[in-house]
A = this chain, B = another copy of it.
Amino acid sequence: MEQFVLSFRKDISLIEEPEGEQVILQSPDCKLTFKQVTSGLRTALNILVTKGATAQQLMDLVQQSDRIVGKLKWFYHLQKFSELGWLCHSVFIDDIPLAIAIPIASDNQFPARDVDIQCQYTLSRFAYCHQVEQQMVLESPLSQAKVILPNWRSAALVAKLAKPQNCHNLATEISGITEEIAQQFVALLLNTQMLSQVQQNGTLEEAENITLAQWEFHDLLFHTRSRKGRHNNPAGGTYRFLGKIETLPAVKPKMSADSIDLYKPDLETLKAVDPPFTSVLEQRTSIRNYGQTSLNAQQLGEFLYRSARVRTLIKMEPAQISSRPYPCGGAIYELEIYLVVNICEDIPSGLYHYAPEAHQLCWLSGKTDHVEELLKGASQSTGSPDPPQVLMIIASRFQRLAWKYESIAYATMLKHVGVLYQTMYLVATAMDLAPCALGYGDSDLFAKAVGTNYYAETSIGEFILGSKDPNYQES
C-alpha cells in the first residue's frame, strides 16, 4: 500500500499563524489545531496540502526532523486524517495523475488490501463513470470514495477491466502503462470497492454475495445518493435555483377551457356523519373488480374533493404554497392527477386533468390510441378481467419540488405518491367504492398521451377506482 501518493482533499486548508508555533487545518465542517508544531510535522502537513507524497516519504521526513517521538505522533495524526475522510490516494505515471481517490464519506474505508498478481479482477457491476465538471469520475454505491480519472488512459484501463484481467494483461496495449502501474491502479480501485476479485472457482466475490445479488444498479445508486451517509453532496431544502430560475406556480394553470364542474360534498356534514376512522382504516383493501352499475360523476367529484382539492393558497417567501388534504414536504404540492375516464355515469369517456383549485375536470382528449394503451397497461398491471372504470395517473411537476430540495427530490416525490395513495384508499373506503393502487406504468406513453415534456412532467404513480359490487366479500 506504500505506493500511493497521499494528499489532503482540495477543501482542506492549512493556516499557519505568522508568529507562534500553532498550525490549523480547516475543512468545511471541522477544524484541527496543532500546538507547538515541530518542523517535521509542519513540513509534512505542507506537503499534504500541496503535491502530496507516499506514506514512506512522509514518515522518513518526519523522523528525520522529529525523531522517534515525532514519528509515533505522526502515525496518530495520519490515522485521524484518514478517519476524517481527508486523505486522497493517488496513482501517477511519471508526474501525471492516473487516478485520484477522494473520500466522500467521513468514515472512509481504505482497507489496504493488497493485489495478487496471479489473480484476476473485474469492474464491479455497481461502479460507473460519468462526467462531473469536465472530469471523468468513477463512483459506486459500494464505495465511500470517488475516483477521478484525469487521463484517457485511466478510462481505457477501467474499460479493459469490464472483462476479468490480471495486472499483466491489463498493462498491455495502452501506451505508457507498465505492469507496476497497472498493479497500483488495480490496488487503488480494489481498495475503493470499484473492483471485484475473481475467486479460484471462477465466480466473482460480488456475485456470491446473495444480499448484493438482489440489488439492481439503479436502485442501489439512487438509495445511496438520496439518503445521507455515503456522499457529501448538499441535501435537503437548499433552494439552489433561487434567483436563477423561476419556480413553478403552486397550482398548475388549467390545461383546457373545456371543463366540467365537479360535485362538492358538504364537509361539515361529513365530519359529523362519516364512519369512524378506525373502521375505515381496518376495512381498507384493494378491490380490482366492480359492481354492475358504474361510478358516477357525483362520486368522482366527492372522491377528488376529499382526497386532493386545494383548500387554500398560502403566500410565502420565496414561493407560494398550498394546503390540500394529503401531506406534502414543504407544502409544495408537485403532484398532478390525470384521469382516464373509461366508464363513469354523466362524464364522457376520455382523458382529463384535475384542476384542484377550481375543482374541475379539464378535457384533454378522447380515447386516442395512446389513452387506450394507458388503460390496457393498467388492466395488465392488476391482472383483473375488469378494465378500470377510472384510471387516475399521478404525475409530478418535477421542477416544482427540485427547485427547493437537493439530493432527496425524487425520493420525496415517491413518498408523496404513497401518501396520496393511502389518502385515496381511505376516502374510497369511506365512500364504499373499489380502490386499487398499481405497481407501475409507462411514463413515456403518458407524456405522449397528454403532450407534456417528459422531463418537465410525467407519470410516477397509478391508481384505479370503480364502483363496488354490493355483494363484495373480502377473500
Contacts and interface: CB of A to CB of B under 8 A. Distances in A.
B327 A286 contact: yes
Contacts of A189: none
Interface string A135-165: 1100000000000010111111111111110
A155 B159 contact: yes
A159 B175 contact: no
Given A131-B162, A214-B399, A245-B210, A223 B443 contact: yes
A226 interface: yes
Contact of A273 (B216, B276, B417): B276
A290 interface: no
Contacts of A258: none
Interface stretch (A43-51, A341-349, A354-362, A423-431): A423-431
Interface stretch (A15-23, A24-32, A119-127): A119-127
Contacts of A451: none
A274 interface: yes
A426 B427 CA distance: 12
Q: How large is the interface on A (under 10, 10 to 19, 20 to 34, 35 or more residues)?
A: 35 or more
Contacts of A235: 440
B215 A402 contact: yes
A314 to B, nearest CB: 10
Interface string A190-232: 0000000000000000000011111111111111111111100
Contact of A277 (B175, B210, B275, B402): B275
A289 interface: no
Nearest to A403: B214
B419 A421 contact: yes
Nearest to A474: B323
A105 B444 contact: yes
Nearest to A213: B245
Given A275-B276, A456-B211, A131 B136 contact: no
Contacts of A7: none
Contact of A423 (B174, B281, B411, B416): B281
Given A135-B162, A219-B409, A460 B422 contact: no
Interface stretch (A62-70, A71-79, A88-96, A264-272): A264-272
Contacts of A161: 131
Contact of A227 (B134, B406, B459): B459
Contacts of A162: 131, 134-136
A132 B125 contact: yes
A418 B444 CA distance: 24
Given A136-B159, A236-B440, A409-B216, A277 B426 contact: yes
Contact of A276 (B219, B228, B270): B270
Contact of A156 (B128, B159, B410): B159
Contact of A443 (B136, B211, B230, B381): B230
A124 B416 CA distance: 30
B402 A219 contact: yes
A326 B286 CA distance: 11
A249 interface: no
B278 A402 contact: no
Interface of A: 105, 107, 122-125, 127-132, 134-136, 149, 151-164, 173-175, 210-230, 235-237, 241, 245, 267, 270-282, 284, 286, 306, 325-327, 329, 377, 381, 398-399, 402-403, 405-412, 414-423, 425-427, 430, 437, 439-445, 453, 455-456, 458-461
Given A107-B444, A216-B406, A326-B422, 16 more contacts: A131-B162, A136-B159, A155-B155, A211-B455, A218-B222, A220-B410, A227-B460, A228-B441, A228-B443, A228-B445, A229-B443, A273-B276, A275-B276, A286-B327, A415-B417, A418-B419
